[in-house]
Amino acid sequence: MSDPLAKLLTICRTSKLSDLKQLKQLHAQIIQNSLHHQDYWISLLIQQCTQIRAPFSYAHLIFLSIPNPNVFLLTSVLKFYSQLGPQYHHHIFSLFHQIRHSSNHHLKPDAFIYPILIKISGKNSINPLHGHVFKLGFASDHFVRNAIMDMYAKYGPINLARQLFDEMPDRKIADWNSMISGYWKWGYQEEASRLFESMPEKNVISWTAMVTGYSKSGDLENARKVFDEMPDKSVVSWNAMLSGYAQNDFVEEGLKLFEKMMDSCDFKPDETTWVTIISSCAAKGDPQLAKSLVSSIDRRKINLNCFIKTALIDMHAKCGSLETARQIFDEMGVQRNLVSWNAMISAYTKNGDLMSARKIFNEMPEKNVVSWNSLISGYAQNGQSAMAIELFKEMTTTKAIYLKPDQITMVSVISAYGHLGALELGKWAMDFFTKNQIKLNISVYNSLISMYSRCGSMEDAKKTFQEMPTRDVISYNSLIAGFASHGRATEAIELMSKMKEEGIEPDRITFMAVLTACSHAGLSKQGREIFKSIRKPAIDHYACMVDLLGRTGQLDEAKMLIDEMPMKPHAGVYGALLNASRVHKRVELGELAAYKLFELEPENSGNYVLLSNIYASMERWEDVEKIRELMRKRGVKKTTGWSWVEFEGKVHRFIVGDRSHKYSEEINKVLKELGKKMIDLGYVADKSCVLRDVEEEEKEEMVGTHSEKLAIGFALVVSGDDARGVIRVVKNLRVCGDCHRYIKMISKLVGREIVVRDNNRFHCFKDGECSCEDYW
DNA sequence: GTAGGGTTAG
């Protein structure tokens, strides 16, 4: 044997091979020298493949270079494949199949193969495999036995794992550890602790399992206690604690612990540590921190594996550098896995770039439920509810059997339906749950409450709230916001008291909702009291208060409150003041607010229109013209809103002057007839406001033109003479004063109840009256 | 050769 070869083999034995080059060299020499026990050396070589993260293809090549491998070599290969990840598992099964059916006695499966096989088989194969190893007499082997028990502990039924555990004549620490992790996994905290306490001997893995258990159940205090008490730690223990902090949103604590880890020289962060820290930094969304972390990683020359790069993509996306995220993604090439693709989709949706997200989605080599959820929620959160639902339908008609919508999908879908105000579709979603046996968790319930509220069905919202087994602050907030949008202020306030009684503290959102409710109901006194009870009011609470004071005519107080604010007022604050100034005809305050708004959001046409309306109401036409001129000069275009009507499970959208709908002609006919009737009955003095042709409406610049009219017209057309039932129209902008009057008249003429949802407010029109008399 | 830690969607 040549000297360099002997040296290399020693290196191989002591597992200190450093790179693929060295590995290849060794392989070539083993083959060249036709060594005795070649299988043995090659096995060692393959074991080294794991160490240096050799690619699958290379290990496979080594494997193929041996004409008659024995079972020892095969086991090494199987082990290597199993560590590469699920996408290589089918190679393992096919190899195993070959071995089993081979007549070569060197290839008889032995006890070493089964633990590997069991570990990768997944829950569906435990039973047959269990029977199989039992029949072959391997079930008494320590490692096989542990693998089977661990399987049951992980995938259930946990009781069966316990049974095997109890039947063991000689339990090793590994068996105890498997059992403890199993109990944690299934939520049996007490059993896990009891087992841990009664262990005759513990090792670092037992302790770490406890740290992980507490962390995953959100009990970080105990997790840290166990962590601090550990007689000795490993890098895994540190990672367990760090990930506990990361996943429970204790970002600061995590970073502090990480610093401590860096200071103590005993443990160097490994790749997992970095992944965890990067994800903590992503959660924080702090670009400065991200930058220093990246330079720290660069400085240490950390090997960037697939996990780290994916985490980096996520971090950059969340810290505002989408381009860097994309760059890493592009550079990954074949290193990309499904999660990297998904991370890139969410990177785009989080930055509102739905086109790019869609492109990535379409290019993906394979998709899972997370891919679909990312894109669906992306559409839902960026105001494209209809698209979100279309995508969901596509998902449910996709042939892939392993692809089933889950709770997270449904949260997005329900929310999308809620935004469309499509109650019937929402009810269809409920049927979908039952049919597909999707369990309802607290988030799904919460989204249902929001959906029912948004669709105007407070009874269903209340029912859902009462039905749910446990409620959190979001459940309360959803229902309170529902009451608020329906002008049911008293119920909103009562519910806030109730949540306090149940021990749930109102948060920023709760106060927002209740203050909004008070504002809409004109409950000035209660509103002030609630505002005073907020420990540290946020800027939005100030905006609500300005709105409340403004609506109730206390404009000077509103202005004073703005002056007293500890922070710089944002557009919402001045917007509220501007509205109030218009209603109460306070030109000077209106001008002040409007000009602040022109600075804060120069593109928003609504502010110009509002100020112009104030001038118009006082017949100051020169000033009206001045504002028009300002808009022209700044290139501000009046934004137009859509109106939706849900009909027979489909949502119909209309925009100002819309002639694209197939019923367009009928709709305009109905609207004209109604207009004539209004004039004949003397409802309106000026016929121009009801008989205007849609084409004229398009030309109109300043006065709101009405997609709601078209939507209501459509509803009347499709419902024919049937005068029962409620017409639901959803508009995504503020219903203007003109429109409000118009709908009142329609409701009286056709004798029907018309519900219009305008942003988050509901207007119920009946017999020529509107439920929201505070309407501006 | 067992058992403990990691990235994406709400």
- Better-scored residue on pLDDT, A160 or A651: A160
For residues A204 and A230, the answer to whether their CB atoms sit within 8 Å is: yes
Residue A127 carries which side chain, given as an amino acid letter? N
| d(CA A180, C1' B3) / Å | 9
Listed range (A273-277, A312-316, A688-692) with the worst mean pLDDT? A688-692
Per-residue pLDDT at A641: 67
pLDDT at A84 over 80: no
| d(CA A42, C1' B8) / Å | 38
- Better-scored residue on pLDDT, A715 or A193: A193
The residues, any chain, with a CB within 8 Å of residue A192's CB and separated by 6 or more, are A180, A183, A184, A209, A210, A213
Per DSSP bridges, beta strands A726-731 and A753-758 are parallel
- Better-scored residue on pLDDT, A637 or A468: A468
| d(CA A273, C1' B6) / Å | 7
For residues A319 and A350, the answer to whether their CB atoms sit within 8 Å is: no
* CA A681, chain centre distance (Å): 53
| d(CA A435, C1' B8) / Å | 28
pLDDT at A5 over 70: no
Per-residue pLDDT at A537: 87
Per-residue pLDDT at A718: 81
Kindly report, residue by residue over A516-527, the tens digit of the pLDDT: 989 888 888 999
Per-residue pLDDT at A702: 36
| d(CA A685, C1' B2) / Å | 89
For residues A249 and A215, the answer to whether their CB atoms sit within 8 Å is: no
Annotate A631-645 with three-state secondary structure. HHHHCCCCCCCEEEE
Per-residue pLDDT at A348: 96
Q: Among all protein residues, pick the one whose CA is nearest to the C1' atom of B2.
A: A143
Which H or E element spans position A561? helix A555-564
Per-residue pLDDT at A687: 57
Chain position carrying tokens 């698209």: A387
pLDDT at A559 over 80: yes
* CA A728, chain centre distance (Å): 29
The nt closest to A185 (CA vs C1′) is B4
Which nucleotides of chain B does any protein CB come within 7 A of? 1-10
Per DSSP bridges, beta strands A761-766 and A726-731 are unpaired
Q: Report the 10 Å Cβ neighbour count for A348.
A: 24
Q: Provide the CATH number for the domain formed by A371-467 in this structure.
A: 1.25.40.10
Band of pLDDT at residue A726, cut at 50, 70 and 90: low
Per-residue pLDDT at A731: 66
Per-residue pLDDT at A373: 97
The nt closest to A180 (CA vs C1′) is B3
Per-residue pLDDT at A54: 76
Tokens representing residue A693 in the block: 């042709």
Per-residue pLDDT at A254: 93
The nt closest to A273 (CA vs C1′) is B6
The nt closest to A110 (CA vs C1′) is B1
Residue A408 carries which side chain, given as an amino acid letter? I
Kindly report, residue by residue over A355-376, the tens digit of the pLDDT: 999 999 999 998 999 999 999 9
- Better-scored residue on pLDDT, A440 or A56: A440
Task: Name the DSSP letter for residue A758.
Answer: E
Kindly report, residue by residue over A133-148, the tens digit of the pLDDT: 778 777 788 888 999 8
Kindly report, residue by residue over A162-214, the tens digit of the pLDDT: 999 999 988 999 999 999 999 999 999 999 999 999 999 999 999 999 999 99
pLDDT at A694 over 50: no
| d(CA A179, C1' B3) / Å | 9
The nt closest to A370 (CA vs C1′) is B9
Chain position carrying tokens 């086991």: A75
Q: A318: closest CA among A336, A293, A296, A343? A: A343
| d(CA A202, C1' B8) / Å | 35
Q: Among all protein residues, pick the one whose CA is nearest to the C1' atom of B1.
A: A112
Which H or E element spans position A728? strand A726-731
For residues A284 and A251, the answer to whether their CB atoms sit within 8 Å is: yes
Per-residue pLDDT at A701: 42
pLDDT at A640 over 50: yes
The residues, any chain, with a CB within 8 Å of residue A419's CB and separated by 6 or more, are A380, A383, A385, A454
- Look at chain A and count its residues: 776
| d(CA A105, C1' B8) / Å | 46
CA gap A630, A632 in Å, rounded = 5
pLDDT above 90 as % of chain A: 36
Kindly report, residue by residue over A378-390, the tens digit of the pLDDT: 999 998 998 999 9
| d(CA A430, C1' B9) / Å | 21
Average pLDDT, chain A: 84
Per DSSP bridges, beta strands A642-647 and A761-766 are unpaired
The nt closest to A341 (CA vs C1′) is B8
The nt closest to A307 (CA vs C1′) is B7
For residues A43 and A72, the answer to whether their CB atoms sit within 8 Å is: yes
pLDDT at A110 over 90: no
For residues A344 and A360, the answer to whether their CB atoms sit within 8 Å is: yes
Q: Please report, to the nearest 10 degrees, the dihedral formed by the alpha carbons of residues A342, A347, A350, A352 taken in order.
A: -110
| d(CA A145, C1' B1) / Å | 13
The nt closest to A378 (CA vs C1′) is B9
Residue A101 carries which side chain, given as an amino acid letter? H
Q: Among all protein residues, pick the one whose CA is nearest to the C1' atom of B3.
A: A174
Q: Among all protein residues, pick the one whose CA is nearest to the C1' atom of B8.
A: A343
pLDDT at A765 over 60: yes
Per-residue pLDDT at A738: 63
Q: Is the pTM of this model over 0.85?
A: no
Band of pLDDT at residue A486, cut at 50, 70 and 90: confident
Band of pLDDT at residue A532, cut at 50, 70 and 90: very high
Q: Among all protein residues, pick the one whose CA is nearest to the C1' atom of B4.
A: A205
CA gap A558, A573 in Å, rounded = 10
Q: Among all protein residues, pick the one whose CA is nearest to the C1' atom of B10.
A: A408
Q: Among all protein residues, pick the one whose CA is nearest to the C1' atom of B6.
A: A272
Cis peptide preceding A86, ω within 30 of 0? no
| d(CA A76, C1' B2) / Å | 16
The nt closest to A279 (CA vs C1′) is B7
| d(CA A144, C1' B2) / Å | 8
A272-299: average pLDDT: 92
Beta bridge partners of A277: none
| d(CA A188, C1' B2) / Å | 23
For residues A638 and A632, the answer to whether their CB atoms sit within 8 Å is: no
Task: Name the DSSP letter for residue A170.
Answer: S
Kindly report, residue by residue over A566-600, the tens digit of the pLDDT: 889 888 899 999 988 988 888 898 998 999 898 98
pLDDT at A226 over 70: yes
- Better-scored residue on pLDDT, A210 or A620: A210
- Better-scored residue on pLDDT, A414 or A33: A414
A410-429: average pLDDT: 84
Task: Let me know if A587 is exposed, middle or buried by CB neighbors in 10 A (0-12, 13-18, 19+).
Answer: middle
The nt closest to A310 (CA vs C1′) is B7
Per-residue pLDDT at A776: 46
Tokens representing residue A490 in the block: 């008293």
Instruction: Give A8-54 as a DSSP string.
Output: HHHHHHTT----HHHHHHHHHHHHHTT-TTHHHHHHHHHHHHHHTT-
| d(CA A240, C1' B5) / Å | 5
The residues, any chain, with a CB within 8 Å of residue A398's CB and separated by 6 or more, are none
Q: A719: closest CA among A621, A658, A652? A: A652
C-alpha atoms less than 13 angstroms from C-alpha of A192 in its C-beta half-sphere: 24
- Better-scored residue on pLDDT, A761 or A259: A259
CA gap A131, A126 in Å, rounded = 8
Per-residue pLDDT at A775: 45
Q: Where are the domains of chain A?
A: 371-467, 660-770
The nt closest to A145 (CA vs C1′) is B2
Q: A49: closest CA among A71, A22, A23, A29? A: A23
